[in-house]
Amino acid sequence: MSCCTKDQTKNNSTKKIKCPSCDNDSHLVNHKTILYQLKKPWLFDFSDKNFYFCSSSKCSVIYFCEDNTTIGFDELKIQSESMKNTLCFCFNISKLDFQLQPNLKEFVSNQTKKGLCACEINNPSGKCCLKNLKS
């Protein structure tokens, strides 16, 4: 089953809290997502903590929890510019790729239907990338 199926996306929590750094509304993110994004996940204690994703491109905090623990780009595998320019993290589709080949949405959609996407671990937000590919 794909992470982008209706059943999976319905189960994502809608709880949002403000980022402590930029005051942006931020959404709850799965521990699995963060573990795959971190350079050294063994350095972090995830037990009994809810982490949130800040989507602001101007913020230095990517993940945070209610006890003020924060995770920034220096601790992630992906860098700020790559994150800003990537539309689909599963298939490494950049904004430029999509401008040059708008039919890439169909490709991603087909792969998603086959259950071949892994947005939950590839996309730093933990959300489906398909919505990023707007024609």
We report the CATH number of the domain holding residue 29 as 2.20.25
In a domain, 6, yes or no: no
Q: pTM for this structure?
A: 0.83
| Start-to-end CA span in the chain (Å) | 26
For residue 2, give both structure tokens.
């794909």
Rounded Cα–Cα distance for residues 23 and 105 (Å): 32
**Pair type for strands 51-53 and 61-65:** antiparallel
In a domain, 55, yes or no: yes
Instruction: Please state the rounded mean pLDDT for residues 24-48.
Output: 92
In a domain, 103, yes or no: yes
| pLDDT (tens digit per residue) in 63-121 | 999 888 999 999 999 887 788 899 999 999 999 999 999 899 999 999 999 999 999 99
Residues paired with residue 36 on neighbouring β-strands, in sequence order:
none
pLDDT at 6 over 70: no
In a domain, 7, yes or no: no
Q: Which domain holds residue 121?
A: 80-132
Domain count, the chain: 2
pLDDT confidence tier of residue 38, bands split at 50, 70 and 90? very high
In whole angstroms, how far apart are CA 124 and each of 103, 106, 133? 24, 22, 16
